[in-house]
Amino acid sequence: MKEYYENPDVVADYSDARFLVKRPRTHRRESGIVDHFFRMIGWVDRVLDIPCGAGRFQKQLLRNAGALLEMDYSHAMTRKSRENFQKDRENDPARARFSVGSILDIPCADKRSDVVFSMRLYHHFPHIEDRVNILRELKRAGRKWIILSFYNFWSYQHMRRLMKNARSHRQSRRYAITLRQFYREVEEAGLRVRCFRSNARFFSEQTIALLEIPD
- Distance between CA atoms of residues 183 and 194, nearest Å: 11
Q: pTM value?
A: 0.92
> Any idea what the CATH number is for the domain that residue 165 is in?
3.40.50.150
How many residues are listed for the chain in this entry? 215
Return all residues near 49 (Cβ < 8 A) that are at least 6 apart: 57, 58, 61, 68, 69, 70, 71, 117, 118
Rounded to whole angstroms, the Cα distance separating 91 from 87 reads 8
- CB 138, CB 103: distance < 8 Å: yes
Q: Residue 70 pairs with which residues in a beta bridge?
A: 49, 98
- Phi first, then psi: give them for residue 85, nearest 5 degrees: -65, -45
> Which residue range forms the structural domain that includes residue 192?
2-212
CA 176 – CA 49 distance, rounded (Å): 22
Per-residue pLDDT of the chain (215 residues; tens, 9 = 90+): 667 778 877 777 777 656 766 778 889 999 999 999 999 999 999 999 999 999 999 999 999 999 999 999 999 999 999 999 999 888 999 999 999 999 999 999 999 999 999 999 999 999 999 999 999 999 999 999 999 999 999 888 888 887 877 777 777 778 999 999 999 999 999 999 999 999 988 889 999 999 999 98
The answer to whether 199 touches 177, Cβ cutoff 8 Å, is no
**pLDDT at residue 21, rounded to an integer:** 66
- How many independent structural domains does the chain possess? 1
For 12, residues 6+ apart whose C-beta sits below 8 A from its C-beta are 80
